């Protein structure tokens, strides 16, 4: 009895002429991601991706865990493959499904016959397999309308596949099919979620973090690295660029009106991030802002921030509530890391009364007190890059 993983493609199937590109990318991403679990054959046929262990050492449990985090997959299931022969199927199904069926009391069988040469039709297959499962599990009964579990039998090209429920996949489209963008990542709750959301739309990420030592600590930096590793389980490999921000923040503090400090700082972040983003072939910036959450996230403040950037700035959380953001953070396992109490450069120099409705001309006037270009060049000379 051989066990495999069957993967159902998500939105990719709607892609028409581009479908090949999306599918190839998905296969490549799956192969790369599960390579740590051992040797597997990964191929697609008729809208299903097959993941087949090549040897004894291939760890299918680990492969399944990893597949659950690959974008572009709407659902997946473990399945058992056997010969396309009714006697074998009737013997294999109760053997393979025994443990899973022990926990349910009602079930039904649904069958699909992709191979039309197979002697029985799908109704007949379902009936016979249902009978075999009932004989082997006397506690079960069949419920065609509301079963606790649906057993599926699929007669395909290379054999018969038997499996239980399909689990939901990570959704989205394959990373790498949506271009590249830079995520401005802090140690907070929001930006890791924003990163995950954009990666789910196929975007390959580069991470940019601003650090203000000695006001922010090495521990705070490590926290961001931990968050990115969690995001990377879905988004794949990425580079993290850390930009030293202390000098800029001190200059703003010493030379500009306090109530504008936050918006001025954010404009510097956009400019510096954009330059790094270009270097890494990114064509957009991503932030974790959500409308109205804090003083710098009003429409007016965002307008002033955006005016400093030429690239599009994506804010996937703009219309979400904190509770929704928390739900995603828990799902992707960043929540517990995010709530660790470390300082961020944003919180270090927070003005007592930030201006919630800045206007661009007031902000630009305040900026005249600074040598913007020199400050940018200076901080970009000392960036630190690391692989996640
Ligand atoms: P988060 O929970 O992501 O920290 P927040 O609600 O605390 O967001 P701010 O601190 O105002 O909001 O930051 C808004 C956005 O600016 C963040 O979501 C992030 O994209 C970016 N940002 C904030 N601090 C940093 C930083 N130190 N380095 C890089 N980007 C940052
Ligand atoms: Mg923050």
Cα 190 to averaged position of ligand 2 atoms, centre (Å):
7
pLDDT one-digit tens code per residue, 67-122 = 999 999 999 999 999 999 999 999 999 999 988 898 899 999 999 998 888 889 99
| Residue minimizing CA distance to atom 7 of ligand 1 | 188
Q: Is the pLDDT assigned to residue 303 strictly greater than 70? A: yes
Q: Is the pLDDT assigned to residue 339 strictly greater than 70? A: yes
Q: Is-contact 205 195, C-beta < 8 A?
A: yes
Q: Is the pLDDT assigned to residue 207 strictly greater than 80? A: yes
Measured between alpha carbons, how far is residue 302 from residues 201, 259, 276, 277, 325 in Å?
Answer: 23, 15, 21, 20, 20
CB of 263 closer than 6 A to ligand 1?
no
Nearest to 218 by CA among 343, 388, 382, 339: 343
Q: Delimit the domains of the chain by residue range.
A: 2-170, 180-387
pLDDT one-digit tens code per residue, 132-148 = 999 999 999 999 999 99
User: How does residue 11 score in pLDDT terms, banded at 50, 70 and 90?
Assistant: confident
User: How does residue 355 score in pLDDT terms, banded at 50, 70 and 90?
Assistant: confident
Nearest to 153 by CA among 96, 75, 68: 96
User: How does residue 37 score in pLDDT terms, banded at 50, 70 and 90?
Assistant: very high
Tell me what pLDDT residue 378 has. 95
Task: Please identify, by atom number, the ligand 1 atom nearest to the C-alpha of residue 187.
Answer: 4
Which ligand approaches the C-alpha of residue 296 most closely?
1
The residue count for the chain: 388
Instruction: Point out which residues pair with 209 in neighbouring strands.
Output: 242
Q: Is the pLDDT assigned to residue 348 strictly greater than 80? A: no
Residues within 5 Å of ion ligand 2 by Cβ? Answer: 186, 188, 344
Q: HSE on the CB side for 108, CA within 13 Å?
A: 9
What is the pTM assigned to this prediction? 0.92
Which ligand approaches the C-alpha of residue 287 most closely?
1
Q: What is the CATH number of domain 2-170?
A: 3.30.2130.30
Burial of 119 (0-12, 13-18, 19+ CB in 10 A): exposed
Tell me what pLDDT residue 13 has. 67
Tell me what pLDDT residue 1 has. 79
Q: HSE on the CB side for 358, CA within 13 Å?
A: 31
Burial of 209 (0-12, 13-18, 19+ CB in 10 A): buried
Tell me what pLDDT residue 182 has. 98
Measured between alpha carbons, how far is residue 183 from residues 152, 209, 215, 285 in Å?
Answer: 42, 9, 22, 6
CB of 295 closer than 6 A to ligand 1?
no
Q: Which CATH architecture has domain 180-387?
A: 3-Layer(aba) Sandwich (3.40)
Q: Is-contact 361 265, C-beta < 8 A?
A: no
In the predicted model, what is the mean pLDDT of the chain?
93
Task: Please identify, by atom number, the ligand 1 atom nearest to the C-alpha of residue 211.
Answer: 27
CB of 191 closer than 6 A to ligand 1?
yes
The C-alpha atoms of residue 258 and residue 280 are separated, in whole angstroms, by 34
User: How does residue 188 score in pLDDT terms, banded at 50, 70 and 90?
Assistant: very high
Cα 81 to averaged position of ligand 2 atoms, centre (Å):
49
Residues 152-161 have a mean pLDDT of: 92
Task: Please identify, by atom number, the ligand 1 atom nearest to the C-alpha of residue 216.
Answer: 27
CA 275 from centre of chain: 25
Q: Which two tokens stand for residue 294?
A: 């804090």
Q: Is the pLDDT assigned to residue 295 strictly greater than 80? A: no
Task: Please identify, by atom number, the ligand 1 atom nearest to the C-alpha of residue 345.
Answer: 27
The C-alpha atoms of residue 288 and residue 320 are separated, in whole angstroms, by 10
The C-alpha atoms of residue 365 and residue 260 are separated, in whole angstroms, by 11
Whether the CA torsion 63, 154, 13, 42 is positive or negative: it is: positive
Cα distance from N-terminal residue to C-terminal residue, the chain:
38
């Amino acid at each position: 009895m051989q066990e495999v993983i069957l993967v159902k493609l998500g939105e990719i199937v709607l892609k028409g002429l581009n479908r090949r590109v999306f599918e190839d990318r998905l296969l490549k991403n799956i192969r790369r991601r599960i390579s740590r679990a051992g040797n597997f054959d990964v191929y697609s046929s008729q809208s299903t991706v097959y993941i087949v262990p090549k040897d004894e050492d291939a760890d299918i449990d680990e492969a399944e865990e990893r597949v659950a985090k690959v974008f572009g997959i709407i659902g997946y299931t473990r399945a058992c493959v056997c010969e396309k022969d009714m006697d074998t199927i009737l013997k294999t199904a109760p053997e393979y499904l025994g443990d899973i069926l022990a926990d349910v009391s009602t079930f039904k069988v649904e069958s699909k016959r992709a191979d039309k040469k197979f002697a029985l039709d799908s109704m007949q297959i379902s009936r016979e397999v249902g009978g075999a499962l009932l004989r082997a599990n006397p506690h079960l009964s069949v419920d065609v309308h509301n079963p606790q579990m649906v057993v599926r039998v699929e007669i395909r090209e290379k054999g018969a596949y038997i499996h239980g429920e399909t689990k939901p996949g990570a959704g989205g489209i394959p990373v790498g099919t949506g271009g590249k963008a830079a995520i401005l990542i802090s140690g907070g709750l929001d930006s890791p979620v924003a990163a995950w959301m954009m990666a789910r739309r196929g975007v390959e990420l580069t991470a940019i973090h601003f650090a203000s030592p000695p006001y922010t600590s090495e521990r705070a930096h490590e926290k961001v690295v931990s968050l990115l590793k969690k995001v990377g389980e879905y988004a794949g490999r990425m580079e993290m660029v850390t930009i030293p921000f202390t000098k800029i923040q001190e200059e703003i503090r010493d030379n500009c009106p306090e109530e504008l400090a936050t918006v001025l700082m954010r404009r510097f972040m956009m400019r510096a991030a954009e330059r790094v983003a270009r270097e890494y072939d990114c064509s957009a910036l991503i932030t974790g802002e959500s409308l109205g959450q804090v003083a710098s996230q009003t429409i007016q403040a965002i307008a002033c921030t955006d005016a400093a950037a030429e690239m599009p700035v994506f804010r996937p959380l703009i219309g979400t509530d904190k509770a929704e953001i928390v739900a995603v953070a828990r799902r992707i396992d960043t929540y517990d890391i995010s709530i660790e109490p470390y300082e961020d450069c944003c919180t270090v120099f927070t003005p007592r009364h930030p201006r919630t409705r800045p206007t661009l001309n007031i902000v630009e006037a305040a900026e005249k007190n600074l040598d913007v270009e020199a400050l940018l060049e200076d901080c970009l000379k000392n960036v630190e890059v690391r692989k996640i």
